[in-house]
Structure 1
Amino acid sequence: MKKITLATVLTGAFLAFAPDLQPAHAELPLQVVLNGQHVQFDAQPEIVNNRTMVPIRAIAESMGAKVSLSGSNFFTVEKGDKRIRLTFDSTEAYVNGSRVTLPVPAYVKNNRTYVPVRFIGETFQASVGFVPPTNTVEIRTSADDRTLRFPVVSDIHVQASDPVSQSKFRAALQDLYNVDPAADVMVLNGDLGNGKPADYDTLRSLVANNPHPVTMLYNIGNHEFYNAWFNAKGVYAPNTFPNGESESMAINRYLKLSGESKVYYDKWIKGYHFIFLGAEKSRQSDRSIGDDAWLSQEQLNWLKVKLSENHKAGQPVFVFLHQPLPKTVTGSFWQSADRGVVQSEQLKAILSQNPDVLYFSGHTHGALNSPRTMVQDGFTMFNSSAEVGPDDSAPSASEGLYVEVHPDKVIVRGRDFAHGVWVPQAQFTLPLKK
């Protein structure tokens, strides 16, 4: 065996784990994230026998551990009252003198010492998991008290015929991956495209071929009904609206993408309630609706029940509707009918019964640096901005929100995807009252 020097060991790093999981994006390099921060390695992590192996020093030091060589063929990793002793090319290791068996032995490659991370991470009381869609190993210690993390992005307007919309969404996914490759879920809050089958196919392809959270949740917007503006040849034809298109056809295409049975549905993610509301009618059946959200009484009654379902005071409830309530967040002060919810008074009265509601909307394309990105009136409302389209005054803009839930607070941060920076005017902390 090649002689190992102390310098060789200390220029390495630690490991992570991926038992029996094949990366969903093999083209993405293996990433290791500790408490939400990327761990920087000087040698690429790799998978051996379904275990992620990485060089040892970077992770050990990131976790506050100390690595030292003991003799010529074994080394120790120490932190607090834990002391690990590992031998090169052996599955035998010791924790505080007690013998344990490693799934893969420590080994040397290109003057870097590789070890299996789950063993070391869990020995130091960290949780270790693998996120297949982003090929990421996530390590969390007690210092990371976040219980839920997710981005909210609205108005992506992905169209098969528009490469700009595709590149902007691709860039947004990459930027969110850079921010947090192990987010729990991603919400796309309406106006996914123009409701065309080809638009949905393009969106599916973009998600499949770019990094994204394990769980993707979709909402319906007004543009999901816009296939009615185009004739059978795909040409914009307002004079023959609705061009043989029905509301049910539009809704069914959206439901096929979302995998849901109705435009309104709910999910529980890591113990938190996500409630999705959606338009059930459009201007195709009633021209007065315009681009507003039309919610049936059945949907509103369902919402009342869901808001109280397993709810504990002080626990946030996340509610999503593409359209904002009128005269609330940025962009909702328009007098026209296409900037709100038809049943807005009923909806606001229902949501106001639960002060723990966080209501997210898009639709207006309002910039996150505006003063009314967050509004509190009985409950809390957020404008999630948009990946602003070429018809807007800022065609290159692309923004959204990133949400972190802690035991005592919710942090909502505005993100500029186009420049890969946080929006300073959109940084909000909401204390949770138990």
Structure 2
Amino acid sequence: MSRRAFVRWLLAIGVVLVGLSAWFSVLVKKKFIQEGQPAIAPAGSPEPPQATAEPSEEPLPLGPLMSFFILSDLHVTSGDPQTIKKLRQALDDVTHFDGPVDAIMLTGDLTDTGTERDYKELRSILSSYKLPPVHANMGNHDYYTIWINKANAWDQDAVPNGKNDALSRDQFKHFMSYNTIYNDFTTNGHSILLLSQEAYVQEKPEVGEGAWYSDEQMAWFKERTSLLYKPGRPLFVMTHQPLPPIGTDGATHQLIRAIQFRETLKSYKNVFVFCGHRHQDFQNGTPHYVQETFHFFHNSSVGRTLNRAYQQDAKNKAQGIYVQVFADKVVVRGREFSNRTFIEEANWSIPLEKAHV
């Protein structure tokens, strides 16, 4: 074979190999297309559906939605400089507090004797601070003016010393600029109701030191609870005297119409009730939180914190409660105002029941 013929033979073999390669490529592509796995989508064909993630639940806000202090049993009187000192300690702490404070609740016994002199002293203290909105209800000591004579001395033999329970109610309303002694308010979408003792021993000797609420107040309480309660959110109720055991009405030193009070709240979740009156130190081992159909907290006292025997052995203590409302819980913490610290024994985090859609 000549050199020229050999070259032509090699070129022919190359053409055959290229043809075989192209034919094999077509077979492979056809195989993939038949099995539904095209290497390249045809031009103009619709895009395949994209996988989408399920929407996640909206994250909860990190910070509190509302926060407030509860100061109970101030017992301010010009004759007792210690109660004045302790209230100032509390207000110093509140006004320099490292956290939000949307309101202050004064839950009864603002004064020791309910006299004009006591209210003047209290006004002088409060007006010397730049405070958030202050709200209050009446305690039994705010009716004590009937025990005080014209010389500003305790005179039990001369009761009512020319005064009456109506005068005490009027003095409280004037001091707080209220039209009624029981009220409610809403801030940042959360509501607080403040119930007040409506009579004392001058008008109703049988109530003793107990909290008597009229038919009108109980009807108001039921109507406002129904109107203000929002599923999934907390509703707060302030009283002064504590509740008696479940199933009973109270007497002296207790909320008297307790059966009706509990019945009003029974169908509502996320209700938080706070009372004062007991003055019990958060660190003396007495229970301060009771779970019923609602959450029931006993506050301590700013003016006179007491031990289990109701003695003021820790004379320097001044205690109260700080409440924070979050989207999914309410945090309740005891506060020692004398040294501006939280109290380890009084620290509760209560999950909120979600609203049913």
For normalisation by structure 2, the TM-score amounts to 0.76
The amino acid across from 1:257 in the alignment is F
Change (3 A) 1:338 1:396: farther
Change (3 A) 1:143 1:352: closer
- For 1:281, the equivalent position in structure 2 comes to 199
The Cα offsets for residues 130-186 of structure 1, whole Å up to 9 and x where unpaired, read as: xxxxxxxxxxxx975211010001001111222111111001111223334641100
- For 1:417, the equivalent position in structure 2 comes to 337
CA distance in 1, matches of 2:162, 2:266: 40
CA distance in 1, matches of 2:250, 2:351: 35
Matching residue within 229, 232, 237 for 2:147: 229
Match status 1:297 vs 2:215: yes
- Number of matched pairs: 287
Structure 2 residue matching 1:179: 3-state secondary structure? coil
Unpaired stretches in structure 1, ≥5 consecutive residues: 1-141
The Cα offsets for residues 241-263 of structure 1, whole Å up to 9 and x where unpaired, read as: 11111111000000011111111
- For 1:361, the equivalent position in structure 2 comes to 275
Q: Looking at CA atoms only, which structure, 1 or 2, has the larger radius of gyration?
A: 2
Unpaired stretches in structure 2, ≥5 consecutive residues: 1-59, 306-310
- For 1:201, the equivalent position in structure 2 comes to 120
Match status 1:346 vs 2:266: no
Change (3 A) 1:336 1:310: closer
- For 1:313, the equivalent position in structure 2 comes to 231
Structure 2 residue matching 1:338: 3-state secondary structure? coil
Runs of 4+ in structure 1 off by over 4 angstroms are none
The amino acid across from 2:315 in the alignment is P
The amino acid across from 2:127 in the alignment is A
**Is the Cα–Cα contact under 8 Å of residues 170 and 210 in structure 1 kept in the other structure?**
no
**Is the Cα–Cα contact under 8 Å of residues 314 and 356 in structure 1 kept in the other structure?**
yes
- How far off its partner does 1:338 sit? 2.9
CA distance in 2, matches of 1:411, 1:354: 19
CA distance in 2, matches of 1:150, 1:365: 20
For normalisation by structure 1, the TM-score amounts to 0.63
**Is the Cα–Cα contact under 8 Å of residues 351 and 379 in structure 1 kept in the other structure?**
yes
Matching residue within 301, 316, 321 for 1:396: 316
CA distance in 2, matches of 1:368, 1:313: 31
Match status 1:374 vs 2:289: yes
CA distance in 2, matches of 1:383, 1:299: 22
**Is the Cα–Cα contact under 8 Å of residues 222 and 293 in structure 1 kept in the other structure?**
yes
Q: Which has the higher contact order (CA 8 A, sep 6+)?
A: 2
- For 1:407, the equivalent position in structure 2 comes to 327
- For 2:301, the equivalent position in structure 1 comes to 386
Match status 1:431 vs 2:351: yes
CA distance in 1, matches of 2:83, 2:127: 16
